[in-house]
């Protein structure tokens, strides 16, 4: 049965999408069967995975599944049709409608979780890229998940909002998903030469002992450039530090899960 991990942070620009897509590729290279769900209406992850609205089938995205207009199976695409790769469920701006439409649905927090029951046996990992807010789509992602993976951007007010994330995690765990755990915090755009970044890392370790990954994702130009080419960093620049860091993160996650 798949392990489901949501990449979550209220803030935008902290590395949620970069982490989801590159981690998916790394886990796939390590022999895991992986599905990425783009749960952000901005569709950044979808673009990085090469999704374009070209055929009628391309109109089957997360919104169509969540609103009952398509089966979840119909909405699964392959990241690279030409070689064995990981799968994904894309999103486009109509996912914004979901926030309003879910409000009046019975069991509104559980819609995604119920749908994933049909897919769980096909994958080892389901990675969900969350939007930068705490709406019903994010809540659906957290209710469908076993773990939260929380990217922290060392550059801007790194630790701002950590209390709010913890409070929301505890609320979801208490009220709707008792099995939800925090897999870990991953420091992104990390530069160990900067004392500000080292201090942020130390403070995170003090506040969340054992929960901050040893791996850090260094600032890397190829990580910033690859989305414009609609590629993950492994396909774009396999030898760059971004690829090395995400591979190390994948291995650390696998060993963390093995020890639990
Ligand atoms: N380690 C990194 N080094 C350089 N650029 C990065 C790094 N991580 C992310 N980026 C860039 O920062 C921007 C925001 O990252 P993104 O993953 O889209 O954040 P989020 O999904 O949290 O909004 C993107 O342009 C991305 O390419
Ligand atoms: Mg994003």
**Which 8-state DSSP code applies to residue 73?**
G
Give the pLDDT confidence score for residue 72 in this predicted structure: 96
Distance 68 CA to ligand 2 centre (A): 25
For the Cβ of 222 lying below 6 angstroms from any atom of ligand 1, the answer is no
Sign for the pseudo-dihedral over CA of 64, 67, 69, 74: positive
Length of the chain: 260
Phi-psi category of 175—alpha, beta or left, where left has phi over 0 and alpha has psi -120 to 50? alpha
Judged by DSSP in three states, 246 sits in helix
Q: 15 C-alpha vs ligand 1 centroid, how far in Å?
A: 4
Other beta carbons within 10 angstroms of residue 135's beta carbon come to 17
Whose CA is closest to atom 8 on ligand 1?
15
d(CA 197, CA 201): 6
Question: pLDDT value at position 55?
Answer: 80
pLDDT at 131: 97
Ligand 1 atom 6: residue of nearest CA: 224
Predicted pLDDT at 156 = 64
Hey, which of 7, 10, 15 would you mutate to test ligand 1's pocket, going by the most ligand atoms within 8 Å of its Cβ?
15
Ligand 1 centre and the CA of 44: distance in Å?
10
190 CA: nearest ligand 1 atom: 1
Q: What is the best residue among 42, 153, 223, 240 to mutate for testing ligand 1's pocket, by most ligand atoms within 8 Å of CB?
A: 223
Tokens of 143: 């209710």
Contact 149, 8 (CB under 8 A): yes
Contacts of 107 (CB under 8 A, 6+ apart): 114
Cβ–Cβ under 8 Å, residues 195 and 225: no
Q: Which two tokens stand for residue 162?
A: 């950590």
Those residues of the chain that have pLDDT short of 70 are 156-158
Q: Which ligand lies nearest to the CA atom of residue 13 in the structure?
A: 1
Ligand 1 near 47 CB (within 6 A): no
Q: Which atom of ligand 1 is nearest to the CA of 219?
A: 3
CATH architecture designation of domain 3-258: 3-Layer(aba) Sandwich (3.40)
Which ligand has its closest atom nearest to the C-alpha of 11? 1
**Distance from the Cα of residue 117 to its chain's centroid:** 19
pLDDT in tens, 13-35: 999 999 999 999 999 999 999 99
Q: What are phi and psi of 127, to 5 degrees?
A: -110, 125
pLDDT value at position 57? 78
């Amino acid at each position: 049965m798949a392990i489901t991990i949501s990449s979550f942070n209220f803030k935008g620009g902290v590395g949620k999408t970069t982490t989801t897509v590159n981690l998916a590729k790394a886990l796939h290279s390590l022999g895991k069967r992986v599905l990425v769900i783009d749960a952000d209406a901005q569709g950044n992850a979808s673009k990085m995975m090469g999704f374009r609205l070209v055929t009628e089938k391309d109109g089957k995205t997360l919104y169509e599944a969540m609103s009952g207009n398509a089966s979840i199976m119909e909405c699964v695409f392959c990241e690279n049709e030409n070689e064995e790769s990981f799968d994904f469920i894309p999103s486009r701006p109509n996912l914004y409608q979901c926030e309003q439409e879910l409000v009046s649905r019975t069991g509104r927090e559980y819609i995604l979780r119920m749908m994933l029951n049909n897919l769980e046996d096909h994958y080892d990992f389901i990675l969900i890229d969350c939007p930068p807010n705490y709406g019903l789509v994010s809540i659906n992602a957290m209710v469908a998940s076993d773990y939260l993976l929380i990217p922290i951007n060392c550059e801007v007010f790194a630790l701002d909002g950590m209390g709010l994330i913890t409070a929301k995690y505890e609320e979801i765990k208490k009220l709707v998903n008792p099995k939800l755990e925090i897999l870990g915090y991953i420091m992104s755009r990390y530069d160990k030469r900067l004392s500000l970044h080292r201090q942020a890392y130390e403070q995170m370790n003090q506040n969340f002992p054992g929960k901050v990954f040893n791996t850090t994702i260094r600032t890397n130009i190829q990580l910033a450039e690859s989305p414009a080419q609609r590629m993950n960093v492994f396909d774009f620049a396999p030898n760059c530090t971004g690829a090395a860091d995400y591979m190390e993160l994948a291995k650390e996650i696998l060993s963390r899960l093995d020890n639990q």
